């Protein structure tokens, strides 16, 4: 665990198993202890296990829920307990919450759609403390998860390319800024027009 300074701000990056509520809570607590305060929390964990609804195993279903939904809930809850008033919480979802565009993706889409409701409710619950909550819904982005399908995906995106990780990161950075202080409870899609 090492704190890093960037443009006068201090950030801390920790690794934790998103399937473990204990590890997630500990990571948030260690961060708050190390920094003395918690202003921004970003939950960026997710897995994709594909399968048709009639053959999908209960074990895979439970794991998808644990990583894609339960971890976001645990993270929001832990962060809110450690966070200063006026803080920012950003959950990374997926545009599949809006459009399930590929076969064997129903459970993944369901988990990402669940984040939409979670973020709306969390935004209302935390509004009295001026903590804002966002759900960023990226589309196909050049990562290990989607790069193998890059050429196929490009044909479906109006901008004819996959997103770059830096584009998503800069969007999250904006949401964490003071300028985004009047946005909350929103699910914001960044996908090159894929669900347009």
Kindly tell me if the per-residue pLDDT of 176 is higher than 90.
yes
Instruction: Single out the catalytic residue among 56, 108, 134, 174.
Output: 108
Return the pLDDT at 6: 56
Round to whole Å and give the CA distance between 49 and 26: 27
Per-residue pLDDT of 89-145, as tens digits, reads 999 999 999 998 788 999 999 999 999 999 999 999 999 999 999 999 999 888 877
* Segment 53-61 mean pLDDT: 96
- Yes or no: say if 47 and 62 are a contact pair by the CB < 8 Å rule: no
> Where are the strands (E) in the chain, listed by range?
3-6, 9-12, 38-43, 83-92, 132-138, 186-190
pLDDT for 5: 57
Stretch 84-93: mean pLDDT: 97
Least confident span in 16-20, 129-133, 173-177, 180-184: 16-20
At residue 37 the predicted structure's pLDDT band, cuts being 50, 70 and 90, is confident
Q: Which domains does the chain have, with CATH numbers?
A: 39-190 (3.40.50.720)
Q: What Å distances lie between residue 97 and 5, 37, 195, CA to CA? A: 35, 33, 10
pLDDT-derived band at 7 (thresholds 50, 70, 90) equals: low
Residue 170 has a pLDDT of 95
Q: At what angle do helices 71-82 and 106-126 cross, to 10 degrees?
A: 20
Q: What is the mean pLDDT of residues 52-78?
A: 96
The number of angstroms, rounded, from the C-alpha of 65 to the middle of its chain's C-alpha atoms is 14
- Give yes or no: 108 in active site: yes
β-pairing verdict for 3-6 and 132-138: unpaired
């Amino acid at each position: 665990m090492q704190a890093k300074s960037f443009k006068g701000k201090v950030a801390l990056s920790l690794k934790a198993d998103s399937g473990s509520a204990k590890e997630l809570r500990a990571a948030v607590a260690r961060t708050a202890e190390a920094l003395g305060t918690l202003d921004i929390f970003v939950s960026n964990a997710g897995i994709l296990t594909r399968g048709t609804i009639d053959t999908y195993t209960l074990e895979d279903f439970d794991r998808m829920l644990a990583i894609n939904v339960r971890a976001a809930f645990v993270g929001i809850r832990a962060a809110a307990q450690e966070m200063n008033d006026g803080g920012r919480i950003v959950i990374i979802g997926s545009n599949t919450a809006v459009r399930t565009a590929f076969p064997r993706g129903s459970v993944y889409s369901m988990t990402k759609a669940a984040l939409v409701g979670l973020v709306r409710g969390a935004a209302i619950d935390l509004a009295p403390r001026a903590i804002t909550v966002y759900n960023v819904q990226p589309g196909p982005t050049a990562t290990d998860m989607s790069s193998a399908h890059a050429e196929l995906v490009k044909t479906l995106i109006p901008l004819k390319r996959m997103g770059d990780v830096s584009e998503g990161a800069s969007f999250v950075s904006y949401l964490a800024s003071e300028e985004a202080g009047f946005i909350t409870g929103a699910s914001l899609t960044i996908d090159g027009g894929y669900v347009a």
